[in-house]
Chains A and B, each alone.
Chain A
Amino acid sequence: MFNNNQIDTDSLPKIEALDFKLISKNYFKIILLNLALSYGVIISLMFTLKQFIKNTFFHTNFWYFIIVLIILFLIQLFFYKLGFKKRKYALREKDITFSHGYLSNSTTTLPFNRIQHLEISRTFIARKLGLSTLKIYSAGESGGDIIIKGLPKNIADSQYAFLTHILNERV
């Protein structure tokens, strides 16, 4: 590989050697809430439909549907729990890395000199739990942006200030 350059690839800074930091444990509450909410909506919709639909197939199998939905909910929750430990980020002098996903793990690195703009957003529940979402955008049209959800507010703010400082210095 890379016959063409004199750089020894082994001497390059390694992504695998990064010391990742986990996001706030509180963020799992938000995941749980969101998941419960979406399944809750579907299940309550089913109950409403039960009042209006005369179809016998629907009525005889109604509780099976509900059980299947609950099992799906538990499976999804289980994978979110497994994946939660995989949500981690790391900062280096010249780039930021975010990694997430259990079934399909994805690690994205965005060099600071490619940052286009930054954003901090906080939903209502996140505010209650003292969490922030830090979004770092590149000019990538097809993705490649870094969005770290569930950072403690103070860390997100200091990170934001740090990155803004770097951005300003670049110009």
Chain B
Amino acid sequence: MKGYNFDTASRQSVKGIVVIFGLNIYKVLKAIVIGAAAYAIEIFKSDKGINIININVIFIVISIVLYFLILATLKYLNFKFYINQKHFILKEGILNKEETSIAISKIQNVYIKQNLIQQIINVVSLSVETAGDNITEIEIKALPKAKAVALKTILLSDSNIAPKDSNVTKAANSIYYKASYKKLLLEGISENHLKSLGFVIAFIVGLYDSFKDLITHFKFTSRFNTYFLLDQQSLFGLVLLNIALLILFLVIAFLFSLVKTMIQNFNLTVYRKKDGLEISKGLFNKISLGLVSSRIQNTTISTNKFKKMLGLYKLSFTQAMVNKKQQQKFNIIGLSKIQINELINTFYPNVFLALNKYKPNRYFILRAAFGCLFALLLVNIPIFFAPIGLLFLNIPIIILLTCNVIYAYRKAYYSVNDHYIVVGSGKFVDTNTSFLETHKMQSVALKQTIFQKRRDLATIKIYSASKALTILHIEIKMARNIYNFLLYKVESEDKDWM
């Protein structure tokens, strides 16, 4: 056993000063980067010597650095934590003193994370999440790893959960799954690159906006135009330019999603624990997330056409009382079909055996088609004003939308039984399956538009403490049956949802 004593007030590691300082500087840099760039351009433009500015700039930079260094030191000196009578107590604040006290029994989750700075100086951050609020405010930024783990065990040692003998927990924490580099690479390659394309385009547009001055200054555009000057009059040149740009963007998008997947899921390891799973992953931001089975609300298996061929599935969990940002990280990628079934069976025993698939009404197709038609019209408004040749753009769009509608209907199904609600959904490429235990339902809604009413159809929405499940366009009789049945289950059993 490690002899850490948390009964007396202790500070974080001295390295904490570096972490606080680094984070502050990072924030400042992030805030002023565009302004600084603009300033730099100004300097370039004016042919004044750099000497005059230099002294001022250096002085300002030094005073800023000094200010943040002192701030970080003071923050470090004034930050103390200890455990007293089953309460975790934090004291902080330089001028405004603040004391936070949390009953250990109220602590929902403890995260150990490591960002780049923390990795370099070999410390970890520990944040505590409590029931009731959506934001993790309590964070100790720098602790030696061993100390953080020791603190985590104490904080999570709720009186009713296992004795806190670290040997026992170690034995129970066996590695269940570790993603190989090959799997991560395949996952990255088979990502939905169109989604990252959106990101990349938004990013480039934003970048162009902030560096418009710079770009005009270096006369990029005029240089660019000369390449296409000869056929600029013809539509061909324009199309060629656009295709070239699109291909460039696609390549960037491809690399973006590949690198993003690799970095976020670097060293993805899943440990099996007595009451759930623990996921640890990340290259620059190392995180380790605990997954408690009783707190799991929604579980979704997702894959797409290419991933399915490669045998890659993703499992995402949502937990009650976890903030949104954290929520997105509760996923395991690169799982095989067998592993998925195994994991689902641990959290939802026998769910596949009891599956009884029903399909929505065909009105589903009509409704989806109408939605697409609207989108198509919207796309066509700018095209209407463009050269006539661009109308051909409609052909791939229509094909894509039609496939989307057909596959959305094909992949849609639902199953409701004593214990589980399962909803399948998807589009042309993606396929998702969501699971929810009936007793985790918070409330239920039956929705009916006047168009659905004419056809005796309705939509059911089942709310949980995280995401809601939606069963679209089913016969009203069936919808009412499900509605009454779910209420009966929740009200008669009186099981805890957490």
A3 to B415, CA, bound (A): 11
| Count of chain B residues near A, Cβ 8 A | 39
In whole Å, how far is A25's beta carbon from the nearest beta carbon of chain B?
Answer: 24
Q: Contacts A3-B356, A4-B417; is A138 near B480 (CB within 8 Å)? A: no
Q: Produce 1/0 per residue, B451-483, CB < 8 A to A.
A: 001000000010111111000000000101111
In whole Å, how far is B460's beta carbon from the nearest beta carbon of chain A?
Answer: 10
Q: Contacts A14-B484, A104-B448, A104-B449; is A138 near B467 (CB within 8 Å)? A: no
Contact A95 B466 (CB under 8 A): no
In the complex, chain B residues whose CB is within 8 Å of the CB of A94? 487, 491
Residue of A9, A103, A106, A138 near B450 (CB, 8 A) is A103
A61 contacts the other chain (Cβ, under 8 Å)?
A: no
In the complex, chain B residues whose CB is within 8 Å of the CB of A112? 491
Q: Produce 1/0 per residue, B411-447, CB < 8 A to A.
A: 0000011100000000000000000000001111111
Contact B488 A109 (CB under 8 A): no
Return the chain A residue nearest B481 by Cβ. A9
Residue of B441, B478, B487 near A1 (CB, 8 A) is B478
Q: Which of A26-34, A47-55, A142-150 contacts B (4 or more CB under 8 A)?
A: A142-150
Residue of B356, B467, B483 near A109 (CB, 8 A) is B483
A154 contacts the other chain (Cβ, under 8 Å)?
A: no
A77 contacts the other chain (Cβ, under 8 Å)?
A: no
A157 to B320, CA, bound (A): 31
Contact B443 A2 (CB under 8 A): no
Contact B491 A12 (CB under 8 A): no
Q: Contacts A9-B484, A14-B480, A105-B448; is A111 near B490 (CB within 8 Å)? A: yes
A44 contacts the other chain (Cβ, under 8 Å)?
A: no
Q: Contacts A94-B491, A111-B490; is A12 near B445 (CB within 8 Å)? A: no
Q: Contacts A12-B488, A111-B491, A113-B494; is A145 near B480 (CB within 8 Å)? A: no
In whole Å, how far is B349's beta carbon from the nearest beta carbon of chain A?
Answer: 14
Q: Produce 1/0 per residue, B342-374, CB < 8 A to A.
A: 000000000000101010000000000000000
Majority SS of interface residues in chain B? mixed
**Total A-B contacts with CB atoms under 8 angstroms apart:** 119
In the complex, chain B residues whose CB is within 8 Å of the CB of A142? 463-464, 466-468
Taking CB atoms and an 8 Å cut-off, the chain B residues in 151-207 that contact chain A are none
Contact A113 B490 (CB under 8 A): yes
B485 contacts the other chain (Cβ, under 8 Å)?
A: yes
Contact A111 B487 (CB under 8 A): yes
Interface-central residue, A3, A108, A139, by most chain B CB under 10 Å: A139
A169 contacts the other chain (Cβ, under 8 Å)?
A: no
A15 contacts the other chain (Cβ, under 8 Å)?
A: yes
Taking CB atoms and an 8 Å cut-off, the chain B residues in 213-253 that contact chain A are none
Contact A108 B491 (CB under 8 A): no
A107 contacts the other chain (Cβ, under 8 Å)?
A: yes
A106 to B444, CA, bound (A): 10
In the complex, chain B residues whose CB is within 8 Å of the CB of A95? 487, 491
B6 contacts the other chain (Cβ, under 8 Å)?
A: no
A16 to B478, CA, bound (A): 12
Q: Contacts A107-B445, A138-B443; is A15 near B450 (CB within 8 Å)? A: no
Q: Produce 1/0 per residue, A1-27, CB < 8 A to B.
A: 111110101001111100000000000
A83 to B277, CA, bound (A): 48
Size category of the A interface is 35 or more
B82 contacts the other chain (Cβ, under 8 Å)?
A: no
In whole Å, how far is A6's beta carbon from the nearest beta carbon of chain B?
Answer: 10
A140 to B466, CA, bound (A): 6
Interface-central residue, B465, B478, B482, by most chain A CB under 10 Å: B465
In the complex, chain B residues whose CB is within 8 Å of the CB of A119? none
A119 to B256, CA, bound (A): 47
Return the chain A residue nearest B354 by Cβ. A4
Residue of B448, B464, B485 near A12 (CB, 8 A) is B485
Residue of B356, B418, B453, B484 near A15 (CB, 8 A) is B484
In the complex, chain A residues whose CB is within 8 Å of the CB of B478? 1
Taking CB atoms and an 8 Å cut-off, the chain A residues in 76-134 that contact chain B are 94-95, 102-114
In the complex, chain A residues whose CB is within 8 Å of the CB of B306? none
Taking CB atoms and an 8 Å cut-off, the chain B residues in 67-89 that contact chain A are none
Return the chain B residue nearest A94 by Cβ. B491
A12 to B489, CA, bound (A): 10
Contact B443 A15 (CB under 8 A): no
Contact A144 B445 (CB under 8 A): yes
Residue of A4, A16, A143 near B468 (CB, 8 A) is A143
Contact B443 A144 (CB under 8 A): yes
Contact B418 A4 (CB under 8 A): yes
Contact A139 B320 (CB under 8 A): yes
A94 to B493, CA, bound (A): 12
Contact A140 B356 (CB under 8 A): no
A144 to B468, CA, bound (A): 9
Residue of A3, A108, A114 near B490 (CB, 8 A) is A114
In whole Å, how far is B470's beta carbon from the nearest beta carbon of chain A?
Answer: 10
In the complex, chain A residues whose CB is within 8 Å of the CB of B464? 140-142
Return the chain A residue nearest B463 by Cβ. A144
A144 to B417, CA, bound (A): 21
A138 to B444, CA, bound (A): 11
A to B CB contacts below 8 Å, 12 in the list: A2-B418, A3-B356, A4-B354, A12-B485, A14-B480, A15-B487, A103-B449, A106-B445, A107-B445, A108-B445, A141-B466, A143-B463
- Told that A15-B483, A113-B494 touch, could you supply 18 new A-B pairs with CB distance under 8 A? A1-B356, A4-B354, A4-B417, A7-B488, A9-B484, A12-B484, A104-B447, A105-B448, A105-B449, A106-B445, A113-B491, A114-B442, A114-B490, A140-B442, A141-B465, A142-B463, A143-B468, A144-B468
Nearest 7 pairs of A and B residues by beta carbon = A144-B463, A140-B463, A144-B443, A138-B442, A140-B442, A110-B443, A108-B445
